[in-house]
Chains A and B, each alone.
Chain A
């Protein structure tokens, strides 16, 4: 393992096997991890019961203050963990979709994948109430895949002359349709279900518990090998399908595989916390500002940023508006739209400069 300079002049770590890791990317991962740990500690202290960091340690060791311990272990910690994992999955999906469609604005929420999963879950809950809970993730995946198929059909495989805006508008249209379908479906639900479901439809961490975390953990772990195996192909897809094929990526089966993994991760996250829009766009771009990267490094950085963003948004909401129960999806939209517009602006500047 030696420290060298890559072809573009940036310092990299080169392993004997030929693997290169950018020092900048390593530093970014380190910064993000530290930030995540700090934020988690901070987030644990914010809430109805006022606690200080020193109290935390004390509570951990003594086990005297049961009330505090309950608040920490069964309310706040699950929230943070679940938020981080959901953010991780969604941001990862966003990064994958962006590479695959070569569209820097793709996002599982904006394209309607999340809403597709919600609709099928609702259908399952309403019409087959006796179905085992294990079927819910399956229903979510089916819904997500159906939306992907619908989008592919609607786009008709045409090459996009409008720098990806067409796909985005199409996605927004599908999203509008599906969200009104799910609002209609809720009307049919019995009151006790519909109340719980509407909180979840808005995207929230209120129902976080160790049980819901356990349901998400397998998918979360699945994303790790997915990053390792699929990350390299991403770098090629960034250059376009034809180039990717020329570089030796088996496009015919690797593209559907990546799409499938993306849908799988989205629907897992949706099942856990409801649809979170804009996260998939925001996280990769923010990660890109932190450190330029491609392939695996981009996936890892985006995912870390995504998790961090969700925890940060949740902490912020809890700290500033303690009496106002702002759903997470809403606060992410409020933060996300300005950032999205900023991204558009930066893109426009970049194209101006290149012309």
Chain B
């Protein structure tokens, strides 16, 4: 319901408000001479599609990561995947002059690199066995900081191209990125499909690796495939509209109380809620701060930071108090 309302609002609201009937007309029988129709089809529709794509992928990625690492703070953002993908896309565009086609590949490589770095740092810090996996998140945050720093340095090397990427780097849902979406969408969809296929064995793994193994699940393979799918999903979303932070962190916490631990049910739920969250964030970004239009990533960071702090407080502090007292 909320998704439908948000969809409608996204179509209708804007610099000019367009009535619902006109929107329906534009989608069903497009008239190239009508300005309103043009706006709906070439500006608002791409935005909606991008928001749906990014939101669904990030949310599902976060859900699976949180399940696999048993860590309420895990998400593509907090584990360095987004930052890695962003850095590689940027480096590819600056140093190798990669076109749009190369971007997807660069993002995938980068996502894997970021994830591997995060795990490597956590291992190096020797805190992998650390209870609750805080060290993993900390090393993810450090990795992201470092990669973002390098990305910023790369941006500064060429001021003329800087403006092209400035919006993208902070994560922005914008109709300009539509052609990237049309080249890359199938990667994200494939990743999502893979996750749906794996949903049943993954649910079993979350119950415990021993139980899953005794139920006939090849734990190693399923885990690797699922992680790969998550990295694919997150990086394809980054390749389109830049690192949208914290959808992957927040949405699973919203979905879990309603859908339970069963991934076959919670994955579609997460996808829906994630898409809605992105649409809403985009709406807020464009309308709440008038006359300025904010990047969507900023709004998500703001919300995400609050939720992050609350999760830390709820899961780690109260648990610690219970254990000690």
With beta carbons under 8 angstroms apart, the residue of A154, A162, A177, A334 that contacts B302 is A177
Query: How many interface residues does A have (CB within 8 Å)?
Result: 45
Instruction: Look across to chain A and name the residue whose beta carbon is closest to the beta carbon of B150.
Output: A334
Once A176-B301, A181-B302, A337-B145 are accepted as A-B contacts, the answer to whether A330 and B320 lie under 8 Å apart by CB is: no
CA distance A161 to B322 in the complex (A): 11
162-194 of chain A: CB within 8 A of chain B: 162, 165-166, 168-170, 172-181, 183-184, 187-188
Distance in Å from the Cβ of A114 to the closest Cβ of chain B? Answer: 14
**A130 / chain B contacts, CB cutoff of 8 Å:** none
Known: A177-B305, A180-B305. A169 touches B138 (CB 8 A): yes
Interface presence of A247 (CB below 8 A): no
Main secondary structure of the interface of A (DSSP, over half): helix
Q: Known: A166-B320, A324-B157, A334-B146. Is A174-B312 also a contact (CB below 8 A)? A: no
Interface size class of B (residues with CB under 8 A): 35 or more
Known contacts A326-B153, A334-B146: A183-B298 contact under CB 8 Å: yes
Instruction: Indicate if A333 sits at the interface (CB-CB under 8 A).
Output: yes
Q: Which of A310-341 contact B (CB under 8 A)?
A: 324-326, 330, 333-334, 337-338, 340-341
Q: Is A42 an interface residue (CB 8 A)?
A: no
Assess the A341–B121 pair: CB atoms within 8 A.
Answer: yes
Whether A155 contacts B317 in the complex (CB less than 8 A), given A162-B132, A165-B135, comes out as yes
A151 to chain B, nearest CB (A): 10
Partner of B153, one of A166, A172, A334, A352: A334
Find chain B residues with CB under 8 A from A351 CB. 126
12 A-B pairs, CB-CB below 8 angstroms? A162-B130, A166-B312, A166-B317, A169-B141, A174-B309, A176-B308, A177-B302, A184-B292, A334-B149, A341-B125, A344-B127, A345-B126
Closest 8 CB pairs of A and B: A348-B126, A177-B305, A161-B320, A344-B125, A337-B146, A180-B301, A187-B292, A173-B308
Could you list which residues of chain A lie within 8 angstroms of chain B, going by C-beta atoms?
Answer: 154-156, 158-162, 165-166, 168-170, 172-181, 183-184, 187-188, 277, 324-326, 330, 333-334, 337-338, 340-341, 344-345, 347-349, 351-352
